Amino acid sequence: MVKLRLFSALSIFLLSYCLCFAAAEDVRVTVRGVTSVAKTDDTFICATLDWWPSTKCDYGQCPWGQAGILNLVFIYYLFIFIVFSINCSFQWYIVTKHCIACLQDLNNKILANAIRAFGNLRIRIGGSLQDQVVYQVGHAVKKFPHFKRNDTGLFGFTRGSLPMHRWNQLNKLFNQTGVKLTFGLNALFGKHKSNDSDLWLGNWNPKNARDLMEYTIFQGHKIDSYELGNELCASGVSARLDAVQYSKDIIVLKKLVDKLYPDPKTRPAVLGPAGFYDQQWFNTFFEATGPNVIQGVTHHIYNLGAGVDKTLIDKVQDPYFLDQVAQTYRDLSVSINEFAPWAGPWVGESGGAFNSGGKDVSHTFANGFWYLDQLGMTSTFNHKVFCRQALIGGNYGLLNTTSFIPNPDYYGALLWHRLMGKEVLVTTHDTNPYLRAYSHCSRNKPGISLLLINMSNQTTFSVTVENDDNLYPSSRKLKNYIYGGTEKEKSIT
């Protein structure tokens, strides 16, 4: 039950695990509705498309199917091909060619409508294999087959290539559905691996990226931002770069973008470093890069651990466990404020559980406790964007890998996008930590939108919502606030 006091317009967004009928615990939630403490981008909700082929397997399962960037929706056209080839075998070649054209046109109404529902969904193209992608444009580029299994390659795969006809078809889909596109570039192009470690050496060669950008501009495709590399920070995952070297490379990218996109109004932003936060590496990178090179600091979060973890179902509903990742957001905020105040933090990729997510958890209703709590938590730490891994693919896709039917978290993302505006408000309560509370100014209309998450399966709450008009809390310190409304402290000076 929710009671309201002194609100002219309040939208309430509820998520609860409790089906019990015990007496409700009284809670007073206070929203400081006059001044905001953080601000997200208009496209805060973001989803990724990944390069993984169908042979990407973890823990005895291969959950990516035909959801990778190079083969998305192939299964539908394979079916059409079989039907036609059985009934019209003499048209084998014609039908094959026709069906592949349909495939690469990404002509799937469920997929398109799922994207279009957001109006301007941000999609990030990237992932583990992006630093092995060669763009099939220009005269001197060697053609590579699609990613194949190879134990000596990064992440166990060979290089792959992005044909320009596929790039055109992807951009056609994005243009028709209002997507704001973030594209991850291959940061290892032109580099070589050192003999005794995962460290890659040498300067980034921007030639292939430049050819792709020039082709993209010629075709009229719109890119909102370019990101350099994937998970190459600090110790890396399968490869790594020195922070100073990466800063040199991203400065080259920034100069290239400035040259090819001379109009600041349409110029894509430059993002990085797209990896896991390491204080020393990030601070060194910020200092070496200098001001006004990157507009967004992208980092990755997989705070639930491995997808095979049998306690995953408990972690997504445990507020004490979920609190732990707040330290990363706090530390990154300190680094940015000190060394890169011109750039805003982004969660550039987060699927909760790594290695394709948990097959019994990541696509279920229960995962929404983790996902919505992360959206609320990161917004209070002034994050501009949160990119969910993935729109489709793995066990953590917002859409089912084969049917494209939305999974529960899709609806959580859509509700957030439609209800929660950019201005983040202080939200506090003085009771059970299993109740999370987040509020923003409402989107597209006056008022406040409030998200309440009940993570307890034993307690119900009778909530009274009050407005606090205090413009200037004493000492500029906000007691009982950092995220979720429970006992924390945050300085907003």
* The pLDDT of residue 146 is above 90: no
| Cα–Cα distance for residue pair 258/19, rounded to 1 Å | 56
Q: pLDDT tens digit string along 152-171?
A: 899 999 999 999 999 999 99
Average pLDDT, rounded, for the chain: 89
pLDDT at 8: 53
pLDDT at 387: 99
pLDDT at 107: 75
Q: If you search the block for the tokens 């110790």, which residue do you land on?
A: 235
More confident residue, 469 or 473: 469
The angle formed by the CA atoms of residues 161, 391 and 269, to the nearest 5 degrees, is 70
pLDDT at 19: 62
- pLDDT level of residue 177 (50, 70, 90 thresholds): very high
pLDDT at 468: 86
* The pLDDT of residue 195 is above 80: yes
| Cα–Cα distance for residue pair 120/115, rounded to 1 Å | 8
pLDDT at 97: 36
Closest CA to 453 of 481, 484, 475, 417: 484
* The pLDDT of residue 490 is above 80: no
Q: pLDDT tens digit string along 207-246?
A: 999 999 999 999 999 999 999 999 999 999 999 999 999 9
Token pair recorded at residue 343: 């750039």
487 assigned to active site: no
Which residue out of 214, 349, 487, 489 is catalytically annotated? 349
Closest CA to 56 of 404, 359, 309, 393: 393
Q: pLDDT tens digit string along 93-117?
A: 333 333 333 344 477 899 999 999 9
- pLDDT level of residue 142 (50, 70, 90 thresholds): confident
* The pLDDT of residue 197 is above 90: no
Q: pLDDT tens digit string along 406-417?
A: 999 999 999 999
pLDDT at 470: 64
Q: pLDDT tens digit string along 385-405?
A: 999 999 999 999 999 999 999
Which residue out of 231, 287, 338, 489 is catalytically annotated? 231
Q: What is the pTM of this model?
A: 0.91
Rg (CA), the chain: 23
Angle of helix 164-177 versus helix 207-219 axis, rounded to 10: 50
- pLDDT level of residue 80 (50, 70, 90 thresholds): very low
pLDDT at 92: 34
Which domains can be identified in the chain, with CATH numbers? 2-39+427-491 (no CATH), 45-73+108-406 (3.20.20.80)
pLDDT at 471: 59
Q: What is the 3-state secondary structure (H, E, C) of the chain?
A: CEEEECCCCEEEEEEECCCCCCCCEEEEEEEEEEEEEEECCCCCEEEEECCCCCCCCECCECCCCCCCCCCCCHHHHHHHHHHHHHHCHHHHHHHHHHHHHHHHCCCCHHHHHHHHCCCCCEEEECCHHHHHEEEECCCCCCCCCCCCECCCCHHHECCEEEEHHHHHHHHHHHHHHCCEEEEEECCCCCCEECCCCCEEECCCCCHHHHHHHHHHHHHCCCCCEEEECCCCCCCCCCCECCHHHHHHHHHHHHHHHHHHCCCCCCCCEEEEEEECCCHHHHHHHHHHHCCCCCCEEEEEECCCEECCCCCHHHHCCCHHHHHCCHHHHHHHHHHHHHHCCCCEEEEEEECCEECCCCCCCCCCCCHHHHHHHHHHHHHHCCCCEEEECCCECCCCCCECCCCCCECHHHHHHHHHHHHEEEEEEEEEECCCCCEEEEEEEECCCCCEEEEEEECCCCCCEEEEEEECCCCCCHHHEEECCCCCCCCCEEECC
**In Å, what is the CA distance from 156 to each residue of 67, 149, 453?**
19, 6, 40
- pLDDT level of residue 15 (50, 70, 90 thresholds): confident
Interstrand relation of 160-163 and 133-136 (parallel, antiparallel or unpaired)? parallel
| Cα–Cα distance for residue pair 57/50, rounded to 1 Å | 14
466 assigned to active site: no
Q: Calculate what percentage of the chain has a pLDDT beyond 90.
A: 77
* The pLDDT of residue 90 is above 90: no
* The pLDDT of residue 487 is above 60: no
Closest CA to 180 of 168, 171, 189: 171
Q: pLDDT tens digit string along 291-311?
A: 999 999 999 999 999 999 999
